[in-house]
Amino acid sequence: MLQLTKLISNKGISLLLLIIIGTAIPVLSLINLSGMPTFQIKSADKLYHLIAYASLSFIFALHYHNHVKRKISSVSYLGIFLLAVIFGIIIEVLQDTLTSYRTFDYFDILANACGALLGLVIISILLRILKFKK
């Protein structure tokens, strides 16, 4: 447990993960993935959205926890949630305006918001379990 605590409290690692995830989401959202293999699950892309935005909000909150403050307030959680949702909306608009192979989808925004909320719930529980204090 101590090794996990040290690993996730590292500011450099959380920043690197935030940069990777924050870059991967728009890149993967704007490139043409039509030749890639897909799961034969109905609406599997919504699951991808959920996972991507859960990861984004989780790592954003973790980095905020590590770098800016040690305790994340309810207002901070709300701010992180809103930033993730706005980020997703911007990407949906860009997909519709910059590409001919992607479209704007309200259900993608809903999946993004659910994912962002899930990521924040998970990080909140993890921080309570590990009892981070400065």
Map residue 36 onto helix, strand or coil.
coil
For 73-106, how does the pLDDT look when each residue is reduced to its tens digit (9 = 90+)? Answer: 899 999 999 999 999 999 999 999 998 888 889 9
Q: Higher confidence at residue 134 or residue 64?
A: 64
Taken as a whole, the chain contains a residue count of 134
Map residue 63 onto helix, strand or coil.
helix
Please give the Cα distance from 45 to 62 (Å, whole number).
26
Please give the Cα distance from 72 to 61 (Å, whole number).
8
pLDDT band at 5 (very low <50, low <70, confident <90, very high): low
pLDDT band at 122 (very low <50, low <70, confident <90, very high): very high
DSSP state of 100: S
Segments making up each domain of the chain, as ranges: 2-29+43-130
Structure confidence at residue 90 (pLDDT): 96
Of 5-9, 52-56, 63-67, 68-72, least confident by mean pLDDT is 5-9
For residue 75, the one-letter residue type is V
For 11-49, how does the pLDDT look when each residue is reduced to its tens digit (9 = 90+)? Answer: 888 889 999 999 999 999 998 877 666 666 667 789 999
Q: Higher confidence at residue 108 or residue 8?
A: 108
Structure confidence at residue 134 (pLDDT): 44
